[in-house]
Amino acid sequence: MNPIQAGLLGIGTVGTGVFNVLKRNQEEIKRRAGRGIEITMVADLDTSRAQQIVGDGVKVVNDARAIIANPDIDIVIELIGGYGIARQLVMEAIEAGKHVVTANKALLAVHGTEIFAAAHRRGVMVAFEAAVAGGIPIIKALREGLTANSIEWIAGIINGTTNFILSEMRDKGLDFDVALKDAQRLGYAEADPTFDIEGVDAAHKATIMSAIAFGIPVQFDKAYVEGITKLGAQDIKYAEQLGYRIKLLGITKRTAKGVELRVHPALVPSKRLIANVEGAMNAVLVQADAVGTTMYYGKGAGSEPTASAVIADLVDITRLHTADAANRVPHLAFQPDQMSDAPVLPMSEVVTSYYLRLRVADQAGVLAKVTGQLAAAGISIDAMLQREAGEGEKQTDLIILTHSVREGTMNEVIAQMQGLPTVLAPITRIRKEELA
């Protein structure tokens, strides 16, 4: 049987990895897929550089639409990124009857509903394992491996840049700004790290996982997104003293009222495996009714780890290329006419527990006033830590861990505590997730 032909849009870091791994492991991949897979065309604006990477046997063009128009190309691999031209090209490839493989989490989180509907209508596949957690096969696990389960919640460290920064802050006692500069110097953070440090990248990925886990449309605009820029070294130190580590988590959870979809820093008990994921590594915890808790760990970025996921998608499409479209695994795990209309809850309706750090005057009666306001709102205290004021100091830190409470209620209480004359600085609030 002739090899299936793929066209590659963009041959940057990941595209180069895809080409090299596919070439290096072509015989093994052929044995698994049942036929060869070849990248026969590449589109890149820097054609001379692209030609050097792929050699003389591959046609290089500077117009991606030349690949889409080629009747011999069966699969289009989109590695351009972003929302703009990538969306146009993916939609054009689908309309041309091409299968699509993409690592573009931003595109799918924002425009996935439109893209999957178009692919379903044309009877083609859109595969996106590389869009979430790089080389970790979490999409396949959620769509296929756990298909017998009712998934209860997912919590993931799904951005390596922020996890590296938080690891550096904890290990070396660095403030955020210093740790970020180190991450940029070492190549873990981009020159403009906004998408990473503000939680946007993790929210794109959490949105996709939420849709697959609960059979809801992708709804990035409904996600609550909070990054790590306001975290201080002292909070990481206090969390450690209380038996916790701070991680940026992407969380989605099924509740009686709807689906939670949120990204924010969280205290996680140090004894949890996910709390010990360090550096630029990724990990995803999935809680399901039949299997219990499973964890998926590995490299969430990089040329060859991400290429591994892209090529796995190429193999899946090659195997199913001639299968009846109705019998393929649905893009979002559930049949398109069986999607749920469960709402994504506003953050004010989420119930969780909290870490509060208050900078207070070192005088009698302060603790009683603060705890009295918590008690009046029905918020119980799980643990408390008060730093002893140094000689000559007139203020100190008061750390409180609460039990579970609705976020809206906590917002009201924080506003009340902030109004106390003995509370001397903005209150730091970090959510706490037991992940039990």
The whole-number average pLDDT for the span 337-355 is 96
205 given a catalytic annotation:
yes
Res 387: pLDDT:
80
Same domain, 181 and 103: no
| Residue 374: CATH number of its domain | 3.30.70.260
Q: Are residues 71 and 119 in the same domain?
A: yes
Structure tokens at 392: 């000559």
pLDDT at 324: 81
Long-range contacts of 381-385 (CB under 8 A, 24+ apart): 382/353, 383/242, 385/238, 385/241, 385/242
87/168 same-domain check = no
Q: What is the spatial distance between Cα 383 and Cα 354, in angstroms, rounded to a whole number?
A: 10
Instruction: Let me know whether 145 and 279 are in one domain.
Output: yes
- Note the pLDDT of residue 393: 83
Q: Return the pLDDT at 389.
A: 72
Domain match, 274 and 256 both: yes
When divided into structural domains, the chain yields a total of 3
Closest among 367, 363, 349, 335 to 405, alpha carbons compared: 349
Claim to verify: residue 121 and residue 151 sit in the same structural domain: no
396 & 255 share domain: no
Other Cβ atoms closer than 10 A to 243: 13
| Alpha carbon 176 to its chain's center | 21
Q: What is the pLDDT of residue 388?
A: 78
Render pLDDT for 261-308 as a digit per residue (tens, 0 to 9). 999 999 999 999 999 999 999 999 999 999 999 999 999 999 999 999
Q: Do 278 and 417 have their domain in common?
A: no
The active-site residue, picked from 98, 105, 205, 247, is: 205
Of 170, 260, 184, nearest to 219 by C-alpha is: 260
> Do 168 and 276 fall into the same domain?
yes
Shared domain for 142 and 124, answered yes or no, is no
The single residue listed with the structure tokens 């030349």 is 66
432/404 Cα distance (integer angstroms): 9
Question: By residue range, what is the domain housing residue 263?
Answer: 138-299
pLDDT in tens, 136-181: 999 999 999 999 999 999 999 999 999 999 999 999 999 999 999 9
Residues 11 and 127 in one domain: yes
Query: pLDDT, tens digit, for every residue of 48-68?
Result: 999 999 999 999 999 999 999
The one-letter amino acid code at 334 reads: F
How far apart (Å, rounded) are the C-alpha atoms in residues 389 and 367? 14
How sure is the predictor about 325, in pLDDT bands with cuts at 50, 70 and 90? confident
**Domain for residue 313, yes or no?**
yes
pLDDT of residue 408: 98
Domain assignment present for residue 345? The answer is: no
Band of the pLDDT at 38, cuts 50, 70, 90? very high
Encode pLDDT of 373-395 as tens digits. 999 999 999 999 988 777 778 89
Q: Are 150 and 293 members of one domain?
A: yes
Residues ≥6 apart with Cβ < 8 Å to 376: none
CA distance readout (Å), 40 to 51, 70, 218: 12, 11, 33
Does some domain include residue 22? yes
Query: Looking at the domain assignment, is residue 376 inside a domain?
Result: yes
The pLDDT mean for the chain works out to 95
Is 346 within the bounds of a domain?
Answer: no
| Model pLDDT, residue 430 | 98
Is there a domain that residue 344 lies in? no
In angstroms, rounded to a whole number, what is the distance separating the alpha carbons of residues 293 and 261? 19
**Arithmetic mean of pLDDT, 101-110:** 97
- Indicate the pTM of the whole model: 0.95
Q: Which run of H or E residues covers position 138?
A: helix 138-140
